[in-house]
Amino acid sequence: MPNRADRPPLLLTLPALLAGLGVALPMLYLLREAFGADLGTVHEILWRSRNLELLGNTLLLTVSVVVCGTLIALPLAYLAGRTTFRPQRLLALLGVLPLAVPGYVGAYALIAASGAGGSLDALTGWAPATPSGFGGALLALTLFTFPYLFLNLYAGLRAADPALEEAARLLGRTPWQTFVSVTLPALRPAWLAGALLVALHVLGDFAVVSLMRYPTFSAAIYQQYTAAYDTVYAAWLVLALLALTGAVLWLEARLLRGFFLGRVSAGAVRPHRRQPLGVWAWPAWALMLTLAALTLVLPLGTALYWLRLGISPYVLGEVGEAARLAGGSAALTATLTAALAFVLAYIGSRYRGWLARLAERVAYLGYATPPLALALALVFFTLAAVPALYQTLPLLVLAYTLHFAAEAIGPLRSSLVRATPRLEEAARVLGDTPGQAMRRVTLPIVLPGLLVSAAFVFLSVLKELPLTLLLAPAGFDTLAVGVWTYTEEALYGSAAPYALALMLAGAALSVLILRREKL
């Protein structure tokens, strides 16, 4: 019989259980929709040659984006963390600021800047071919997801013990041999963490691949549900996408199994000796300037160029209304998600046992579920069980909360480490109830982390597209929907103010990341 310290109180457990049901119940209705067809229909769906093509395209794009992102992020992280290259701050900014640009805004910039009549043609006379297909999707997704890898690799390089590399050098290894045999293997956990985020992002993306006309599971799901309205086929595509996501999560856990990188001796890790670049300074500058041009100058310049051509006052009014709707839903979601994340993080830091572990992992279940899969599962659930909830603001906010709770847990977990249980115990000894102790002792300590968590969720909701498209009430057109709609119709001037507003909002997210990571 477990002791009481192993079991969180019901008041804390209930929100965690409700969040778990919020993800699990819609998935059951998704399964019901998929298996509700007759065996002949199911057999025909499963053996379509189109499914094999979608599987190949999705896997090829996911692996390619991870590889290409690594080829960008690893040199950049090494330059920022291990060399004398200056300015270091600018390198760190370049590794993070592309997060300010949502992938579909990056795709908009690449499309609107290229081809005859694009911004590059008008400003320089050079009209590169408009990116499309696999190459276009690979370019857009790589440029605006590599920061996930950069942040993890940079942190891994800073935290590594220099004694390991020094020992390898003393044993006669060259700098390159030391890098390959010591530095790279030590970065495996950091790389896997970043690669997992990139892979989940690519698997769940449908906007970039749709704009680039490259068929993947996510693009096919959206097309089947919105255009063909084949709900059974869409449900099976969602199950295939969930299986791929599960395989990625299993592979990441499998590659980390048995990995240990602890220190034998006690004491603080010494800082690394920075290496001079010499003749490699020129390629380093070329890498930095190329990245800055593609990820920052091109999106911002393209949006400003099309904005300068003039747009109707009607569109400007739309942008204001879209910002109001997006900001209101984001603020509501940020408040609810931060509260839920606090409960989940508190349970994980204060209690033991399977129930505590399960409660904290609820958030990651919602985050690992691709947004389109979660949205479609919620559609099937509400239409069958609570039709009045379909396409309402409460349903949209619920979907946002379930999906983004994991983003809010990180800063809160770090804050709860500082708010040790001994402080609450001292307050209890002085006569406080558990609720009073939490309110007077714990909450003031975790308040900065709580605010950072809310800000993360707020800005993530502003940029979220698939959940909004499928679950929002009629006429609920946010900034993200505006970029998507006008770019699909090749109305680049009308899409420009929406894209510009999202980039400015994303810049605020990047500042928060920089402060949190102390780059």
Between CA 113 and CA 350 the distance in angstroms is 52
Q: Where in the chain is CATH 1.10.3720.10?
A: 1-34+312-488, 48-258+278-309
Between CA 308 and CA 301 the distance in angstroms is 10
DSSP class of residue 271 equals P
Burial 412-444 (b: 16+ CB within 10 A, else e): bbebbeebeeeebeebeeeebeeeebbeebbee
Q: Which fold has domain 1-34+312-488?
A: MetI-like fold (1.10.3720)
Nearest to 399 by CA among 435, 374, 382: 374
Is domain 48-258+278-309 given the CATH code 3.20.20.80 in the classification?
no
First to last CA, the chain: 47
Question: 239 CB contacts (<8 Å, ≥6 apart)?
Answer: 30, 31, 34
The residue written with tokens 């229909």 in the block is 41
What does R_g of the chain's alpha carbons equal in angstroms?
24
As beta bridge partners, residue 83 has 275
What is the identity of the amino acid at 102?
A: P
Measured in whole angstroms, how far is the alpha carbon of residue 336 from the centre of its chain?
19
Please provide residue 275's backbone torsions phi and psi, each rounded to the nearest 5 degrees: -100, 135
Q: How many Å is the maximal CA-CA distance in the chain? A: 76
Between CA 482 and CA 108 the distance in angstroms is 12
Judge if pTM exceeds 0.85: yes
- pLDDT tens across the length of the chain (519 residues): 344 456 777 777 788 888 888 888 899 999 998 888 888 888 888 888 889 999 999 999 999 999 999 999 999 999 988 888 887 778 888 888 898 889 999 999 999 999 988 889 888 888 899 999 999 999 999 999 999 999 889 888 887 777 777 777 788 787 778 888 888 888 888 899 899 999 999 999 999 999 999 999 999 999 888 876 788 889 999 999 999 998 998 888 888 776 655 554 444 556 667 778 778 888 889 999 999 999 999 999 999 999 887 666 777 778 889 999 999 999 999 999 999 988 888 887 777 767 667 766 777 888 888 999 999 999 999 999 999 999 999 999 999 999 998 888 877 776 776 666 776 667 777 776 666 777 777 777 777 778 888 888 998 899 999 999 999 998 899 999 999 999 998 889 889 999 999 998 888 777 766 666 555
As beta bridge partners, residue 275 has 83
